[in-house]
Amino acid sequence: MRLHGDVSDDEEEGAVMDPALLSSSSPPAGAAAAAASRLVVGYALTKKKVKSFLQPKLLLLARKKGISFIPIDETRPLSEQGPFDIILHKKTSKEWQRFLEDYHEVHPEVTVLDPPNAIEHLNNRQSMLEEVADLNLSSFYEEVCTPRQLVIMKDPSSIPTAVAMAGLTLPLVAKPLVVDGTSKSHELSLAYDEASLPMLDPPLVLQEFVNHGGILFKVYIIGEAIQVVRRFSLPDVNTYDLLNNVGIYRLPRVSCAAASADHADLDPRIAELPPRPLLEKLGRELRGRLGLRLFNIDMIRELGANDRYYIIDINYFPAERKINVSSRHISARVGQFNIVQVGVSSPLPKVGLAGG
């Protein structure tokens, strides 16, 4: 069965890079302008995140522009490392947050991508969609909303009653409540009947399933840049399915490449991408509300309702290799943080540790 959902970092298979590229701090000979405006990006990422994001084509481009990507040693104080112009990370632990806060007090000029407490907001599927529910996109004809959902903290036997009281309609998509970067936190289940609901494993979020033509739109937001790709998703559910399926279907994970629908032969009404003005407005609103500059949203369009979209998940710092782009596209996105034209374009965005 094809599915929508996240591909976690621990399942990415990035290209192995030359370690020398990570520590290189010198721009090409003769690049005096780049040397004068050299930018140092310190990063604190998992090994698999390094493989998926800091790919050779990005690192080579960075070197030509006078940019250095330097690994941060998390066993040493940040004050003993650097100096950095940007800190790029995907950490939310309290200890790491204290490290960043202490460093930022002494070096407020350093841009942090992104604030740990803002990232943490996306680690809970109950809180991650709260900002979407309050969005005001009244200037557009299209409607953006979230599926009706219910949070179950414990006691699986209480789920049928809770679902009935909330008025949710089967089938329901079950997702773990906490998103911690592991494969398990991205597992999905589809519940067809009420009697099987106690088989689910709380804490979890139950979302009403919305028929959407089997296509998911992954919208990548990097600074002010936006790119959207199509992915295959769960097939639609009809009355026959509801009458002839019982139980909980544990949905298998699929690779990003296998799920790509960008070149598939699809009904144009299903394949049509969301309107660009809507995505730009949505990106601006969510950047401000979430206090993040590096994230993606999973969006579906309700089948038969071309003007109604649902946001079903938001993920922080998606792997760049999930987007099939050239080095030029990557440089454009990195350029949103003033890396491509250091010292020429507008100043680096200052993202405080408190978010916003």
244 is in an annotated binding site: no
Q: Is 85 annotated as a binding-site member? A: no
What is the separation of C-alpha 125 from the centre of its chain, rounded to a whole number of angstroms? Answer: 13
Cα(197)–Cα(190) distance, rounded to whole angstroms?
10
Return the structure tokens found at 297.
Answer: 């949203």
- For residue 50, give every residue at least 6 positions away whose Cβ sits within 8 Å of its Cβ, in sequence order, or none: 14, 17, 22, 43, 71
> Is 90 assigned a ligand-binding role in the annotation?
yes
Query: Is 218 marked as a binding-site residue?
Result: yes
Q: Is 10 annotated as a binding residue?
A: no
Q: Is residue 66 annotated as involved in ligand binding?
A: no
Query: Can you tell me the distance from the alpha carbon of 344 to that of 88, in angstroms, rounded to the nearest whole number?
Result: 21
- Beta bridge partners of residue 250, listed in sequence order: 189
Q: What are phi and psi of 46, to 5 degrees?
A: -70, 165
Is residue 315 part of an annotated ligand binding site?
Answer: yes
Establish whether 308 is an annotated binding residue: no
Check the annotation: does 186 bind a ligand. Answer: yes
Is 210 marked within a binding site?
A: yes
Query: Would the annotation count 339 as a binding residue?
Result: no
Beta-strand (E) ranges in the chain?
A: 39-44, 67-71, 86-89, 111-113, 143-145, 149-152, 172-176, 188-191, 204-208, 215-222, 225-232, 248-251, 294-301, 308-316
95 is in an annotated binding site: no
User: Does 211 belong to an annotated binding site?
Assistant: yes
Q: Please answer whether residues 111 and 86 qualify as being in contact, where contact means their C-beta atoms are separated by less than 8 angstroms.
A: yes
Cross-sheet strand order for the sheet of 204-208 = 149-152, 204-208, 172-176, 188-191, 248-251
**Closest CA relative to residue 43, chosen from 81, 16, 6:** 81
213 labelled ligand-binding:
yes
Binding site for 1D-myo-inositol 1,3,4-trisphosphate: residue ranges? 49, 90, 186, 218, 315
Binding site: residue ranges? 49, 90, 125, 175, 186, 207-218, 233, 298, 313, 315
Binding site for ATP: residue ranges? 125, 175, 207-218, 233
Binding site for Mg(2+): residue ranges? 298, 313, 315
